[in-house]
Structure 1
Amino acid sequence: MTSKEQRKQWEAEQKTLAALRVQEDLLDWSCSEDGFPDLHRVAGVDVSFFADGTYAIATVVVLSFPQLKVLWERSAAFRLSVPYVPGFLAFREVPALAQLMDSVPCALKPQVVLVDGNGAFHPRGCGAATHLGITVDLPTIGVAKDVLKVGEVNSSLARRVSLTLAPGQWASLCEVAALFRPRTDPAGMGKPLVVSPGHRISLETALQLTRAICGTSAPEPVRQADLRSRRAVKAWHAGQEATRVEYLSNPRLRHLERVQAVQELAEQGEWPGAQ
């Protein structure tokens, strides 16, 4: 359970970060009719939970582009310090993911990160993809399986829109979100994905890239991260290589320090998304 005071603090942090989101493409690569010039590395992140609800495994995977071969990966266990509360998923997962992102070798630093969650499509404009993107200062894309209630958008509207989508097509839900049906859903029976820009990327570019790397029911970087985080949880329960699973200590404290540093940059006018 969380108190009203805690929720107010989280809401305030989300609103602060949302104001720092860079809405246009701020990339070292581009999206054009010829593809994605200068894009060489994409990353996916995921978190899988232990049955006890106390611990979880965070995973970051960096893939080559366009080959989508795994270049680097890291998984680590961490203790959950925040309960699951709808609309506040980032506080539960992002601190650990951000800490892992810091450990990616400089030569393999991803140029865009895909997150299993929402970006700017969020009641306060700051889903997990936006939260992560701002705290690690990288372009991020949110790709979610479920539709949040945001403004006039809800699951009923999304269901009607989804009926118009053929495999490989997308349709706008609002200025910061669109539904996309993967090509591998020829019967049109599966759930379309909700794509929204996280940080330093536009919705159009986010959609184009998601389409290019979504050969399955999820973008390949997210799928690879999901496979590895789930595998680590199963290995732990089976008693396999338990001593080799890394453990992150107090990622939430480090995350708070990081958010404070971002706010200070914004106050000094040194953050490109400051308003």
Structure 2
Amino acid sequence: MFMNMCSYQVVNEGQAAAWNGYEGRHWADHDARYDAVNSGFNEFVLDAAGIGGRDRVLDIGCGNGQLTRQAARRAGAAMGVDLSLPMLERARERAREEGVGNVRFEQGDAQVFPFEPGGFDVALSRFGIMFFADPVAAFGNVRSALGDGGRLAFVCMTSHQGTDLGTMFGAMAPHLPTPTGEDGTGPTSFADPARTGEVLGEAGFRDVTSTYVEAEQVWGRDVADAVGFLGAWGPVKYHLGLVDPESAAKAREALARVLEGFERDGAVRTRGTAWLVTARC
């Protein structure tokens, strides 16, 4: 029996509200588009996790569940955990459509989720670990879910500085208030590998490594399509809503001009960057 909105414990109330509101609905309604942005990083995580045919896999912040389903195909069983009911419903739907029967999805806050001690061999995540209210406590709880010799593998955002995404945000910056957070907070909370190592070490992990990786990200079939999609993406939509319509229009126009440089081969394509983090119990 999957848990409903009223039956799970949550400490990260702000994130729960966002991911069960507009943000989560947009990701669920456009799962294929978000996977086109992020799926290039799947193989990095799956290969680093070293999943075997009998392994039990935990996907943290699984969202629409593409990585969970791919992990399940390599594993004995897989479970995805996320705060977002809209995204979990989409994940279950996709699993049924794809015939992946050894996967399940649970709603919960990974920081306090009642995992079975030692119930998993591998924990992984694709950009799902950056928003914990207490990262040490959250990773400590994940650590308790892994048996002796358990492995952890995830990708998280690098700093935006010098990246294509940073260029996109930078184009809009003159027209919007603080369009991105500082490194060490929000989506770039683990942009510093030294901090990542400290957090995971305090949580009980060892042999922590952070490897820089890149993958192509597809934002739309053309500039207009990409601008429309990006403008509806939660963080951008929020900041566009903080300014007057004229400023918002200028921000969109600036974004469109930048994206023209990334349009090729029938799509708007950028190079995404991430840290691939691995650790052991």
TM bin, normalised by shorter chain, reads under 0.3
Structure of higher RCO (CA pairs closer than 8 Å, 6+ residues apart): 1
Normalised TM-score (structure 2): 0.27
- Kindly indicate which of the two structures has a greater share of residues assigned to helix: 2
Give the structure-1-normalised TM-score: 0.28
